[in-house]
């Protein structure tokens, strides 16, 4: 049986020292610690994928906290299933011992308790995402009712637009030159021309 540690930090700015210290205190050998420096939005991470290939029956995966594993609870549940059911590997979350699959708790196997707790966490996370989406939607509706405009402000026509448009329309210059004279990007000039011609 081998013991592995997994560390994830969200960006190159963050310092993984706290997680390394926790692994060291837990007795995980430095050669068995895998580190990813990227977002937790999915599990497409090189070191995590390397670690997943290493895990075998009765091995132990140690993570400091559940959010270091990932942010998306649907994907955490799927990875948890792969690790504990397919690979038959145990998981230990240092900050949440209730999620440790290797322990016995009140006569029930840790895996049963863990499955229930993870389902609950996934439900809470999904409910919170729904609340956030609802609050955003309500906030946007309220702002629009007050006349707040979203998106980049629309550029009006420039003082030289009329001259540039006429020269382009008469075939004296091409549209790129006309946009330059009008002081607009080519796509904006073209949009304004379409509006004039409507």
d(CA 157, CA 170): 19
CA nearest neighbour of 63 among 103, 123, 9:
9
d(CA 23, CA 21): 5
d(CA 148, CA 154): 14
Q: Among 10, 39, 103, 175, which one carries the catalytic annotation?
A: 10
Residue 145 to residues 130, 135, 138, 148, Cα–Cα distance (Å):
23, 15, 11, 7
Residue 154 burial (10 A CB sphere; 0-12, 13-18, 19+)? exposed
- Structure tokens given for 159: 């003082």
Sign of CA dihedral 126, 110, 47, 69: positive
**Is 10 an active-site residue?**
yes
Q: Are 160 and 191 in contact (CB under 8 A)?
A: no
As annotated, the active-site residues are: 10
């Amino acid at each position: 049986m081998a013991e592995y540690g997994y560390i994830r930090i969200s960006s190159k700015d963050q310092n993984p020292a706290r997680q390394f210290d926790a692994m060291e205190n837990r007795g995980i050998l430095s050669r068995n610690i895998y580190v990813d420096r990227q977002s937790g939005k999915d599990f497409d991470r090189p070191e995590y994928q390397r670690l997943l290939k290493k895990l075998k029956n009765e091995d132990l995966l140690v993570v400091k906290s559940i959010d270091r594993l990932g942010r998306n609870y649907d994907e955490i549940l799927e990875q948890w299933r792969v690790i504990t059911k397919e690979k038959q590997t145990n998981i230990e979350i240092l900050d949440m011992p209730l999620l440790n699959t290797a322990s016995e708790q009140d006569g029930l196997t840790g895996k049963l308790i863990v499955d229930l707790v993870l389902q609950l966490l996934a439900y809470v996370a999904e409910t919170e995402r729904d609340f956030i989406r609802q609050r955003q939607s309500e906030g946007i509706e309220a702002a629009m009712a007050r006349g707040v405009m979203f998106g980049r402000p629309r550029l009006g026509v420039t003082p030289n637009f009329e001259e540039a448009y006429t020269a382009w329309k008469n075939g004296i210059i091409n549209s790129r030159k006309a946009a330059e004279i009008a002081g607009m990007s080519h796509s904006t000039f073209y949009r304004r021309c379409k509006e004039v011609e409507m």
